[in-house]
Each structure stands twice: as structure tokens, then as C-alpha cells.
Structure 1
Amino acid sequence: MDTGISKHNWAVIDPFEKQWSEIYYNTPVPKDDISYMEQLRSLPQKPDFENIELFARTDDEDTISTDVDDIIQFCKDLKKSDLDEQTREFIWLDDRTYTAYFPNMMSSSSHGNTRRKISSLDGHVINAHMSSSYEKPATSPIPGGNEAPCARRPSARYSPPSRSYNVPLTAKTLYNALKEKRFDHESLPDADRRLIYMPDPEPPDFFALTETVPRHQHGALRTAIAQHLAFSPLLEVNLSTSDIFIFQLDLHLPFFAMRTDAYHRNHTTTKLRREWIDLSFIAQVLPGSDKDGELGIYPAQVSVTMCGTSARHYTVYGFEDTDFDKDHGPAGDEEDDDDSTYIGVQHDQIIRGKQDANFPIWDPREYFLTTLKSRVRQIRNEWDRLVRTIERAYMSCTCHLLYWYQTMLQRLQILLPVLKATTDLWDNFVAPGGDILYFTTTTSPSCAPRIRNMLAAIRKDFEKLKALYKTLSQIQEQCEKGESSVEAQMMQQNNNNADLMILYICPVSVVSSFFSIDTPIMAFKRNLISFLGSTIVLMLIVQLLRLVKARQAYRPQWWRVIFTRGNQALQGDRNNIMRNIAGIRSVRRTRTV
């Protein structure tokens, strides 16, 4: 029985229930031979915009949103000729052909299959489709293909018959590669699964993507770029059936990377919300902080967007901020060098080199969770390092200066909202009716346990992030109390200084001014004895006035008692008014405490 379900047989039980459609296991190749931008430019009515602004805008938008404006400003006035000027080689491109890994998939798809339910965390159930179609990748070389010039480089080694690239690429070489027909090419195999990873993407890099993206991926790419520039977290799944069946999985995790170096002085970035933040005030109180450079944090973000029409045909866009690590290279390079043991290993850069790209994960949801697991662990380690450093700095001294507290509170006001928004992602993801429901079915018996274990590991890392948020919140609360305490001490000190001025300095100043008058009001001898005597008398008067004022604030308010009794007598209060033997009215005495 075919594992796919035709469109007219797909029954929706609950219109609001989130469920992964099995249509994505039996969807034909998308017919998008012409890019989205070429389609717009070929319209009879010429568009009003060009290049990146044409890509970012949509017809149904009357005003420019913040996300669109960020894209336009970042890639402002960019033209195709600018691709030649960009010579930076950092882009990783990986294409895989489905039939190279599953040559017998079509014949095995007619085999029967059964289902089994696997309980998972958060009370959800995973249904595993039993199938024996998985095989190891084919190892025959590409027919008629030539070995890549850099066969020993991590991303261009020997692999099953799929397209190979001399990576890392420049924006221009990426543009040329993406301009090639993806399916039914005359001489190249199909690029069924495509991975594009850009560390520290620059405007020409985005331009290479926007000029070649197919129409059905336009929205996903636009979201990926805008979300990455916005320094904003996102974890969600979207299924679209408006035109063709499209799935989109988004993972965007902002964080702060703490580094101690002098590199930030030469660090310039054109990205928004990526300014270096000084933490030198923390380093000053840390014990043994004798490292060269200044302590600071770099705002950074990992962005991964996956979109496609089926489990066999999809694209993954990965963007990551890494420029705070000047020695950053492709993930996995530190293991490769010249060790022959790793010949043939191609590290998946989107999963941080934790996966051999020659053994690709074809199921898009499993690939998404694998990436989420790796990236959450990455940002958890960065947050843990930062929070522990802040905690040690706060605990290293029992009393800090007011400036220290104020600066720390300013930094915490930057850190806490980002960390809170990140932890809320998981809560919303696993909440009742959350996007976790899209992952309650898997496609193979071997996949279900892995997904369950990955979800457990992801939840553990998010729980750790919540604990770090709680620690930062407690430090913020203690800093607020410390700031209030120091301010109260400073106010008391100011009051003491004011008393000193009034009691001692002012009398001397007044007497000196009086003695300096040419024609005095009162005739007396001006000598040292009269000067000292006048000063002492004035000091005593000032002190007497202070004592009278202080006692007045605490003296019994006896006049209020008389006023109250008299008012009650005038109102004729029967409880307080009595007549004596002579018939005369009088106020009854009452015992007071």
C-alpha cells in the first residue's frame, strides 16, 4: 500500500488541529524553473522597484514594515555588479540527490506499512510509520563527473552521486550555482535537498539568494533574512496550501557571546542591533582577571529556515553571526587537518559539524530537530558562560559603588528580555495546541526514538536557560536593593554635609560678612574675641532652631484633642455629653490610653 495520501483523500478531522500532512511524502517536483525576481521583471507592467526592494516588498503592503525596511537598509543600492567586488569565501553549499541514497524507493513504496505509537515527553504521542526503505548511500562515483579541485576540503570531498562544489564559495560563485536548473538538468543530477550556510552574511550574499530564489520559497527567504537582521527569536512551523503545498520551519535564536580581547576596537558591522557592549566594569572586580583585552559581549544570532514541498525536495537557509571570533572557520575543520581517518567526511555546517553531510537526514522534521538540539546547546553554553561571569562578579564584593549597580542594571535590562523571549519559545512550542503537534508522527521506526531523545535533550537545555534567567533576575533584584541602599547612604551623607555647612560654615561666613561692612549697624569693637563670640552665639542660635524644629515634629498634638472634644460637644454627641445635678451640660470624661 502506498505510503502517500492523495490530496482528495486527506481528511481533516479538526480544522484547528495542527498535524503534519502525509501529502509531503508524495509531492511532485515543484515547477519553478524561473526565479521569483525574473517572474516579476517579466510582467507586462514593470515594477516600481528594483533589486532588493523589489524582493522585500509585496503587492498587498501599503506601507513599509520594520522588517522590510531593515532588509532594504542593509542591502541598500546593491546591484548585480557588486557580486564581483565581494571576494570573501565563506559560503557553504551542499546539494543531495534523493535517488542516490534511495535507489529502490519507488519499488519499496508499494510495500505494506504499519503504525505504532510511541509515548514522548510533554504528554504527546509519536506515531512511527514502519518502513524498511532506508538504505546506506550509494558509493559509486558521479558518472562522467570530475573530482573537485579541493577534494580534501571539508565540504568538497568524495560523496554519493550528487552535485559537488568547490566550497567555500563567494557570493558570485553561489549566484552562478543557484542559477543552474535545479531539477531535470541536462548534465547535473537533481538537487533535491539543498543546504545553504552563510556565516556573517553580507549584502552581496543576500543578493545572490534573492535573485535566484524560486517563487514558492520567496516568503520563507524573506522571513529568514528579516528575522536574522531583527535580532529576534522565533520557533514555529507553518504549512501553506494557498497555491501549492509548502512547509516552512523557522528557528531563530539570539544570544550574547562574551569575549575578552581587543578585537572589538577594530570590529565594525553594518548590521542593526549588533553593537559591542562593554563589560569592563565586571572585569575590574573579578579575581584574577589579567587577560589581555577588554571584557565585552557581542549580540549574535543563529537563523535557520527550512522550506520545501516534500520530504524529498526542500531547501535550508542558515545564517549565523560569527565575526566576534576572528579565528572562526568551518565547523569540523579542527578535527580534519591531515588525518586520513576523516577522508570522505563532510561536516554539515548548519548542524555545527555534528553530522556527516554524506549521510544526510532526509526527513525535514528530524533535520529541524537535530539542528535545534545542536543550536540550543550552543547558545546555552554562551549564556551559561555569561551568566556565571556576572554572578561571580556580583558575589566577589559585598558592597559596590552606585555607578557599578547602575551600569549592571543597564546591562541586565538588555540581557533579560532576550533570554526571556528565548525561553518562551519552548513554552509556546510545547504548549497545548503548540507546534510540537507537527512532530507527533515520524516516518521510520528508527527515527521515532531519536526524535524522542532529541526532544528530551532540547527540553533539558531550555530548562537550563530558564534557570539562568532566574539567576539573572535574582541578581537584578539584588542590584536594585543595593542601588537603593547606596542611594540612601549617599542621601544621609549629603544631609550630614548640609548640617555641617549650616552649623559651622554658615555662621562663620555670616559673621565674616558682617565684620567686613564699612559702616556697621551696631557699634562694637572688631577684634578676635568679638568675632569668635559672635560666631559662637550664631552657632547656638542655629542649633536651637534645629532642636525646636526637631521637637515640633514629635511633640504631642494636644490642640487636636481639644478641637475634637469641642467639635463633639457642639454636635451634641450623647455619649460624651451629660448633665450634672444642677442640670448643667458638661463633657463626660473618658479614659484615654
Structure 2
Amino acid sequence: MGKTKAKRQRASGDRDQDQARCYTLSATALRSWPEIFRKRRNIYLRVENKSHVEGRAESGELEINDVIRIFMREPEESLGFLPRADRVEEFCFGMSIDSLRKAKYKQDGSLRLIAWLDDRNLQGPLDPSRAHCKLLTVYALFRELKKPRFPSADPHAALPAKARKRPVLTDADRRLVFITDLDCLSIYALVQTASSHQASALREALYYYLDFEPCLKLAAITEGFPMLKFAFHLPFFALRPSKTRQTDCRRDRDGMPLRRSQDVSFLDWQGGASPIYLYDAQISCVIAGSDWSRWVAWLFIDTYYLDAEDESKEDVLEYHEDSLSPKGMRADPLTYGSADADKPIWDPEEYFLTVFKTRFAQATREWKVVVKKFKLSLKHHQGKHEYRLWSPASREPSKDESHNGSLRCSLDWVLQFMRLCKDVKETLAKTVKSYEPFCARGAGNLVGGPRFPRESKLLPSIQDTFDELCQLNQTLDHLLDRCSQYTKELKFKLSLEVVEVGNQQIQMSNRQTNLSLEANRIAEDNKGISWMMMLYVTPVALTSSVFSMQPTP
């Protein structure tokens, strides 16, 4: 394998591509879900072969320039107030099918592969007749998703084989879509091809992904057309040293990048050769289906902040190349390569937990790096600047000025640290609050309706990861408390320094006043002596001078 060897150790699985595998749902699967989702429903599949956008166009509701806005509108929303549509529309502007076609290649001429698609049939053989583990450009993704998902429901499927112009594909009962660095082009491809039953889940996924917001939701929609939905959205921060900042090229209408990046080199007390940057990043995954046997999963992940040589950077081409090695397997990228795509998991709940367990741990590792850096930076700063809370022994003016300057620099550093820490803490606290009803130990009593199955072998690992996230959240609380106390001490010391300087100035002014008074007193004394000289000494001297004069002969 290539550079991913350190990232994922994969073993080849036993595959029998000619053997049909008929999967049956276990007795404990989807236990907390309504009974309707535990059966393979007899539904009208042709509706899944038509996109939501096409349906709106046929009803006369769709204008060609309002594709995003119309797609993002929920049935109960009015056209006048659509905050979620506004958010997505300001990011996806000026899109067209031609835009997708033009984005096929990178600047170096190589294919711009951004998506991985895997379609499986519940009772079909594990053969490559459908798009198994297919690597796609954004335009190729659009074309694949535009094809009927359930060809068996197409009227042409009933024609004799000789009358058909194309071979009949098997139904895509289970569909997996993996996209790196979701941008306006890939969003447009999804919006143009998602069916009406998929639209609600995809709307929410796009909004949470673009808005950098956490969410964990299990929903059983029983009104109208029953649908099950699993979703998690994991915003996090990634800390990376690099000589140059990694740029997020995804821009909104105003030219603002989708994700922020901040130079936080002030945290590096060791003075490293490379600056340190803090990046916003997110992983979003949504599963939506009509029952346990027919569902779609999407996963969107940010990789823009990772250098091309970084071993943890995910790339669909890399997943494919890993599968070509003698001991490789066709890995499922939604699970971070931990599951074999040719051994598909059909239970949507089990699959969601598998993906969530892996991605939750991945995001928590990034959180650990950030919080550890914060903790060590504050500890080092306090240790180095603690002595500055005490006045220097010498009261020389030059040393006083240096001391006051050091106090102000330390205060500026702590205030900058607090602003950054509060920003990070806000996202982490929201994540903990969103995930607690499902991930905390004993969380089954906190939510009604669908919840994580207690008997799942994956749940303990998820709970352990959640406990780690809670500890990190508490650590940030403690750091902010320490900063608050430290700031008070610095401000108090600075105020004392100001008072002391003021007292010194008063003392100096008093000394100057005393000197002036003394000078005035001396001047008055000199004036008195002068008068005495004029009154007594001068007349005597004149008389003596007169009598001492010799007469003229």
C-alpha cells in the first residue's frame, strides 16, 4: 500500500462474486423503530426514479434560476421566508449542468475525482454490473445519479431483451455516496438528482454542513410517506503546523471561504520553524430510506486543510489504489476504510453506528490535539510570566517601564487566548449537548422514539468516545476559569502599578514644591540681608569714606 498504510490496515476478505446473498433482518434490529420500517415494503418505486426538481418543474413551480431555492423549501414553508434556502443559495450561485461538465479536470489535466458511489441490490450477486465502488468526477456523479435508481420500475424493463437498447441494471436498493470537500458543484449535482423522498434528509444535511453546526438525529417520519432517517453532523477544529496556510477554495457569493483558518502561532512557546494554523472542519452523514432494505447514505467530509502528503488525508483515488494491492480490499470510505464494501451491511441502524463510531473517534482525536495544545500553552505562559505578578526590587524608572510593559504583553496574550478558547469551546459544548441524549451512558431514558440499541456491540465504544469529549469540554472550562482568574490578577497588578506610579509622581511633585518653597525662603532671606546692608552698612561705609578723605593742599 501507499501512504495510507499507517492510517488503515486492511485485510482482504473472502469474496464470492457469483454467489447471490439474500439478507434477512435480525430479530433485534430496528427494535425501537415503528414496525413499518422493519418490513420490506411494497411501494411505488418509480417515484424514486424522478428527481424532486423534475417533479416541481412538471407542476409549474420551478424557475430555471431558482433550482436551489425551490429544492431547499420544505412543503410547509412559504416562499417569502426561507433561511435555510438563503444559506445554501448564497453558497451555490451561478451553477448549471455546463458548470459540472467543465469541472471534470484539474489544472494539471488529471481527472478531478471527488466522489465514490456504491449501489447494491439486496438479492443480487456481488458483481460489477452496477456502480460498485465507482470513482467519479462531479459531472460523472450527476450522470450516475440521474439514471433510474430502480430500473425494474421503468416501463422499458418489461420489453423483450432484443427491443432494449441498453442492458437492464439491477435495482440500487442500498446506495452509498461519499464526497470530499463538498462544494457548490457537488451540491448542485445532488440537488438536481435527489428524489422527493430523499429531499428532506438532504436539505437538512446541506444546511448543517454549510453552517458548521453539530447535530445527532434519529427520526421516524410516519406522516405522509413513511421514512426513516439517521444523521450526524460533526464540526471540529484541526491544528496543523505548516509553512503555508492551506486555503479553502470554496467561496460564497461575497468571496468568503466556507471554512475559517486562523494563525495561532502565539500558542507555540517552543518557537517552531513553521507557523501553526487552526482550521474549521466538518463531517456530515445522513441515511434516509423507506425501510430497512431500501436506503441511501451520504457522507461529506472536509479534507482541504490537509497537505497532499498528509497520511490522514482521504482521497477516493487512494481508496481505489489501496484495493489493488495483494492484501487490499475494496474499502468503504464512509467507514474510514474499516469495512469491506463487498461485505455490505444492510441493516441501516448497524451501518449508521459503524460509520458514526469511526468518524466520532476521528473527530475526537482532532479535538484532543487542540485541547492539549491549549492546555500546555497556558501552563507554559503562566509558568514563565508568574514572577511578573510581583514588583521588582529596584525602583529604577527604566525597570518600572519594562515591568509594566511585560504585564501588558502578558495580559494581551491571555485575552487573545481566551477569545480563541471561547470560540472553540462554543462548538464543543454544542456538540456535547446535541449528542448527550443518544451517547451518554443510560441515555436510553433521555429520548423517546428511535434510539441507539443498548445491545449493540458498537455502543460501548461510542459511549467511551463521548466520555472523552465531555472531559475535553470540562478541560476547556477549567482553562477559561484559570484565564479569568489570571486576567484579574494581571489587571489588579497593573492597577497597583498605576497607583504606585501616581504616588511616585505625587512625591516628586511634593519634592519640587518643597524645593520651590525653600528657594523662595532663601530669596526672602537674601532680600532681608540686602535691606540690612542698605540701612546700616552702606551709611557707615559712606561716612567712613568721607572722613578718610585727605584735604586738597
Q: TM over 0.5: same fold?
A: yes
What amino acid is the match of 2:348?
P
Shift of residue 208 of structure 1? 0.5
**TM-aligned CA distance change 1:467 to 1:45, over 3 Å:** closer
Contact 2:320–2:330, Cα closer than 8 Å, also in 1: no
**TM-aligned CA distance change 1:224 to 1:46, over 3 Å:** closer
2:85 aligned with 1:68? yes
CA distance in 2, matches of 1:265, 1:246: 40
Shift of residue 268 of structure 1? 4.2
Question: Any residues of structure 2 matched to 1:295-306 within 5 Å, and which?
Answer: 295-306=276-287
Residue equivalent to 2:35 = 21
Residue equivalent to 1:458 = 462
Q: What whole-Å deviation, never above 9, does each CA across 1:107-140 have from its counterpart, x for those lacking one? A: xxxxxxxxxxxxxxxxxxxxxxxxxxxxxxx4xx
Q: What is the aligned-residue identity percentage?
A: 25
Residue equivalent to 1:589 = none
Q: What whole-Å deviation, never above 9, does each CA across 1:196-255 have from its counterpart, x for those lacking one? A: 111101101000000011011111110000010111111111111222221111111111
Residue equivalent to 2:538 = none
CA distance in 2, matches of 1:338, 1:358: 14
CA distance in 1, matches of 2:469, 2:62: 50
Residue equivalent to 1:339 = 325
Residue equivalent to 2:70 = 54
2:96 aligned with 1:79? yes
2:171 corresponds to which of 183, 186, 190: 190
1:201 corresponds to which of 182, 191, 196: 182
Residue equivalent to 2:529 = none
Residue equivalent to 2:146 = 179
Contact 2:178–2:333, Cα closer than 8 Å, also in 1: yes
Residue equivalent to 1:9 = none
Shift of residue 80 of structure 1? 2.1
Specify every segment of 5 or more residues in structure 1 that has no aligned partner in the other structure, as ranges: 5-16, 101-137, 139-158, 442-447, 527-593
**TM-aligned CA distance change 1:18 to 1:65, over 3 Å:** farther
1:323 corresponds to which of 285, 304, 312: 304
Contact 2:288–2:296, Cα closer than 8 Å, also in 1: yes
The DSSP-based 3-state class of the residue aligned with 1:362 is: coil
2:351 corresponds to which of 360, 367, 372: 367
CA distance in 2, matches of 1:315, 1:80: 23
2:209 aligned with 1:224? no
Residue equivalent to 1:491 = 495
CA distance in 2, matches of 1:21, 1:351: 28
Shift of residue 427 of structure 1? 1.9
The DSSP-based 3-state class of the residue aligned with 1:387 is: helix
TM-score, normalisation: structure 2: 0.72
CA distance in 2, matches of 1:370, 1:463: 18
Residue equivalent to 1:535 = none
Residue equivalent to 1:236 = 217
CA distance in 2, matches of 1:84, 1:51: 18
Contact 1:71–1:226, Cα closer than 8 Å, also in 2: yes
TM-score, normalisation: structure 1: 0.68
The DSSP-based 3-state class of the residue aligned with 2:332 is: coil
2:486 corresponds to which of 472, 482, 485: 482
CA distance in 2, matches of 1:45, 1:382: 44
Give the alignment's Cα RMSD to 1 decimal: 3.2
**TM-aligned CA distance change 1:246 to 1:436, over 3 Å:** closer
CA distance in 2, matches of 1:382, 1:354: 19
Shift of residue 190 of structure 1? 1.1
CA distance in 1, matches of 2:449, 2:416: 40
1:388 corresponds to which of 338, 356, 372: 372
What amino acid is the match of 1:372?
F
CA distance in 2, matches of 1:53, 1:82: 18
Q: What whole-Å deviation, never above 9, does each CA across 1:163-217 have from its counterpart, x for those lacking one? A: 1268431111111101111112552111111111111011010000000110111
Residue equivalent to 1:42 = 58
What amino acid is the match of 2:264?
L
2:476 aligned with 1:472? yes
Residue equivalent to 2:232 = 251
What amino acid is the match of 1:81?
D
The DSSP-based 3-state class of the residue aligned with 2:150 is: coil
Shift of residue 326 of structure 1? 2.6
CA distance in 1, matches of 2:350, 2:449: 12
Specify every segment of 5 or more residues in structure 2 that has no aligned partner in the other structure, as ranges: 1-23, 26-30, 105-111, 158-167, 386-409, 527-553
2:447 aligned with 1:434? yes
2:260 aligned with 1:275? yes
CA distance in 1, matches of 2:65, 2:248: 33
Shift of residue 79 of structure 1? 2.0
CA distance in 2, matches of 1:22, 1:341: 41
CA distance in 1, matches of 2:349, 2:171: 21
Shift of residue 439 of structure 1? 4.1
Question: Any residues of structure 2 matched to 1:78-97 within 5 Å, and which?
Answer: 78-87=95-104, 88-97=112-121
CA distance in 2, matches of 1:350, 1:93: 10
Q: What whole-Å deviation, never above 9, does each CA across 1:367-412 have from its counterpart, x for those lacking one? A: 0111110011101111111111211222224254111211111011
CA distance in 2, matches of 1:210, 1:437: 28
What amino acid is the match of 1:85?
K
What amino acid is the match of 2:179?
M
**TM-aligned CA distance change 1:188 to 1:511, over 3 Å:** farther
**TM-aligned CA distance change 1:175 to 1:477, over 3 Å:** same
The DSSP-based 3-state class of the residue aligned with 1:99 is: coil
**TM-aligned CA distance change 1:338 to 1:506, over 3 Å:** farther
Q: What whole-Å deviation, never above 9, does each CA across 1:277-298 have from its counterpart, x for those lacking one? A: 2321111x2x4x53x4211211
The DSSP-based 3-state class of the residue aligned with 2:331 is: coil
Higher helix share: 2
CA distance in 1, matches of 2:147, 2:466: 41
CA distance in 2, matches of 1:485, 1:169: 58
Shift of residue 421 of structure 1? 1.6
Contact 1:18–1:433, Cα closer than 8 Å, also in 2: no
**TM-aligned CA distance change 1:507 to 1:367, over 3 Å:** same
**TM-aligned CA distance change 1:299 to 1:266, over 3 Å:** closer
CA distance in 1, matches of 2:525, 2:189: 96
**TM-aligned CA distance change 1:247 to 1:321, over 3 Å:** same
CA distance in 2, matches of 1:259, 1:22: 47
Shift of residue 511 of structure 1? 8.0
The DSSP-based 3-state class of the residue aligned with 1:307 is: strand
The DSSP-based 3-state class of the residue aligned with 2:193 is: coil
Q: What whole-Å deviation, never above 9, does each CA across 1:83-114 have from its counterpart, x for those lacking one? A: 122133111111111112xxxxxxxxxxxxxx
CA distance in 2, matches of 1:212, 1:80: 12
Residue equivalent to 2:195 = 214
The DSSP-based 3-state class of the residue aligned with 2:59 is: coil
Shift of residue 335 of structure 1? 8.5
Shift of residue 418 of structure 1? 1.2
Contact 2:429–2:473, Cα closer than 8 Å, also in 1: yes
Residue equivalent to 1:98 = 122
**TM-aligned CA distance change 1:426 to 1:365, over 3 Å:** same
Corresponding residue pairs, total = 437
